[in-house]
A and B are shown apart, each in its own frame.
Chain A
C-alpha cells in the first residue's frame, strides 16, 4: 500500500510540475514537451489504478498522436518565443477571483465526497481489456457510438476546411 502511495505522489507531483511548466515556459515546444510529461504521468496514474488498457491508450493517443500533431504544427509554423504582456485588467479583477473560486469549489467537493464515494483501490489488480470492451459495447454502447459519430463529424469538418483552399 505504501509503495503504491509513494508512486502515486511521485506521479502526481510530476503531473503538477509538468502542468505548471506548461504555462510558465515561453518556448511553445517546451510547453508541448511539458504537456507530454503530464500525459505520461497521467498514464502512470491510470496504470496504478489497474486500468492498463486506458494507460496504454493514453500514451498512444495523447502522448503519441495528438502531441506529435501539436509539435508538428509548432515546428511547421516555426513559432518563436512568446511575448509576455502585463496583466490585463480583466485578469486582475475577474480572472484571479474566478480561479480562486473554482479551486475552492473543487477542493470543497473533494473534501465532502471522499467519505461517500468508493475510491478506486490502487491494489495492482488489473481490469482485463475484455471486460472493458464488453462494457463499452453493451452498457455504454450509445455514448460510445455517439462519440464515434462526433469524431466522424469532426473528420468531415477537417476535410471540408482543407478542401476550401483548393
Chain B
C-alpha cells in the first residue's frame, strides 16, 4: 500500500492516459459511424445498416479490416519520413488532449481527482505548440510518398496551416485578454457567473456587474480557422478526392491510413474541446447555479433515450437487433435512473456532462457542415484566410484590448 501511495504521482497519470486513450479511440470510431449516418440522412440515404443493428458494429468491422489489410510499400519512397509521418500525426493529435480539463475537480474517497492529465498553467500555449507541430505529419506524408498527388496535397496542407494558424492564434487573444491567463482551467473559472449562467460565457461575455463584451467575433474567426487547421470540409483541399485522389494519404493503406484517420478525428475532438473551453464555458452549466433542479437534465435525456432505444429495438427486423438494442436501451435508462437515486454521483458528473454535451454539439456541427457545404477553391481559401480572417481577428484583439483598458479605469 505504501508503495502504491509513494508512486501515486506516476500511477495515477498512467491510468488516466490509458483510460483517456481508450475513450478517445472509441469516440473516434463511433464518430465515423455518426458522420456516415448523419451525412447519409442529409443526402436521403440510410448509411451503414448491415453490420449490427443500425450499423452500430460498422466501426468494429472497419477496425478489423484496417488491421488485416495488406500494407504495400510504394517504390522509391523515403522510408524514414514515410513511416514517421503517420506516427507523428497520431502521436501529436493524442498528446494535445493531455492538457484539456474535461471537468471540475471532484473528491473520490477523500482524494482529489482532476479530470485532466496535465494541469499546466500555460496549457493553451502547450496546445498551440502541439498543433503547430501537427502539420509535419501531413506535409511529410505528402512528400515521402513519391507521388505527385500526395505532394500537392502535402503542399496545400502546409500552405493552409501556415495561413490559418495566424488567425487561429490571434482569435484566441481576445479571450486571453479577458481572462488574463493562459490556463484553460482559469479561463473556464473566469466564465463562471453564479446567477447569470450561460450569459457569463465568453461568447456572451457578461460579467458579474451585468455589462460585458462578447467574444463572438473571436469565436467565428477561431472556429473557421480551426476547421481549416483540421483539414475538414469546406477546407479539405489537402485531400480533395476529386482532384488529388486522396491527397497526402493516397499511398497509405492499412493501419497507417487508419492512423491518419484517427489523428484527424482526434484533432476534431481537441478543437471542439477548445471551442467549448474558450468560448462556451467549458464544464459550466448553462443554467444559473441556484437552479439545482437542472441537475436532473442528464437523467431527463438518458431515460427517454434509453426507452426509445428499447422501443426501437423491439420492432427491429433482425433477431440480433431485437436483443442488443433493448439491452443498450436498458443500460442507458438504468444509468439515467441511477443518477436520480444517487444525488452525490449526479452532482459529481454535472461538469463532465455539460462539457461532453457541448463537445458533441461541436462535433455534430463538423459533420453537419461536411454534409452541407461545398469545398473552397484554392485561391478563395488563401484570400479568405489572409484578407478577411486575419484582419478581423486583429481587429478583435484591438477592440477587446480597448474594452479591457476602458473597464480598468
Partner-binding segment picked from A69-77, A82-90, A109-117, A147-155 = A69-77
Q: Is A56 within 8 A of B139, CB to CB? A: no
> Nearest chain-B residue to A67 (Cβ)?
B136
Known pairs A52-B120, A52-B122, A60-B125; A68 contacts B135 (CB<8 A): yes
Q: Is A64 within 8 A of B133, CB to CB? A: yes
Q: Is A64 within 8 A of B165, CB to CB? A: yes
Known pairs A30-B80, A52-B122; A72 contacts B159 (CB<8 A): yes
Residues in B neighbouring A126, C-beta threshold 8 A: 121
Partner-binding segment picked from B31-39, B150-158, B198-206, B290-298 = B150-158
Segment 331-381 of B: residues with Cβ below 8 Å from A? none
A8 within 8 A of partner (CB): no
Q: Is B121 within 8 A of A33, CB to CB? A: no
Q: Is A63 within 8 A of B162, CB to CB? A: no
> Nearest chain-B residue to A130 (Cβ)?
B180
Residues in A neighbouring B78, C-beta threshold 8 A: 27, 29
Q: In the complex, which of the residues A33, A53, A56, A71 contacts B128, with contact meaning CB atoms closer than 8 Å?
A: A56
A57 within 8 A of partner (CB): yes
Residues in A neighbouring B122, C-beta threshold 8 A: 52-53, 56, 129
Q: Is A29 within 8 A of B140, CB to CB? A: yes
CB < 8 Å A-B pair total: 77
Q: Is B133 within 8 A of A63, CB to CB? A: yes
Q: In the complex, which of the residues B80, B151, B158, B182 contacts A68, with contact meaning CB atoms closer than 8 Å?
A: B158
Give complex CA distance A64, B166 in Å: 11
Give complex CA distance A8, B23 in Å: 34
B81 within 8 A of partner (CB): yes
A11 within 8 A of partner (CB): no
Q: Is B121 within 8 A of A59, CB to CB? A: no
Q: Is A75 within 8 A of B182, CB to CB? A: no
Interface size class of B (residues with CB under 8 A): 20 to 34
Known pairs A29-B81, A56-B129, A129-B182; A75 contacts B135 (CB<8 A): no
Contact bitstring B304-321, A, C-beta under 8 A = 1, else 0: 000000000000000000
Segment 125-145 of A: residues with Cβ below 8 Å from B? 126, 128-129
Nearest chain B CB to A68 CB, angstrom units: 5
B281 within 8 A of partner (CB): no
Q: Is A63 within 8 A of B182, CB to CB? A: no
> Nearest chain-A residue to B120 (Cβ)?
A52
A65 within 8 A of partner (CB): yes
Residues in A neighbouring B155, C-beta threshold 8 A: 72, 75-76
Ordered by A's residue number, 5 sampled pairs between the chains whose C-beta atoms are within 8 Å are A43-B129, A52-B120, A56-B122, A56-B126, A76-B155
Given contacts A68-B136, A71-B140, 20 further A-B contacts (CB under 8 A): A27-B78, A33-B81, A33-B140, A36-B136, A52-B125, A53-B122, A56-B122, A56-B126, A60-B125, A64-B135, A64-B165, A65-B132, A65-B162, A68-B132, A68-B162, A71-B139, A71-B158, A72-B155, A76-B155, A129-B122
Residues of A participating in the B interface, judged by any CB pair closer than 8 Å = 27, 29-30, 33, 36, 40, 43, 52-53, 56-57, 59-60, 63-65, 68-69, 71-72, 75-76, 78, 126, 128-129
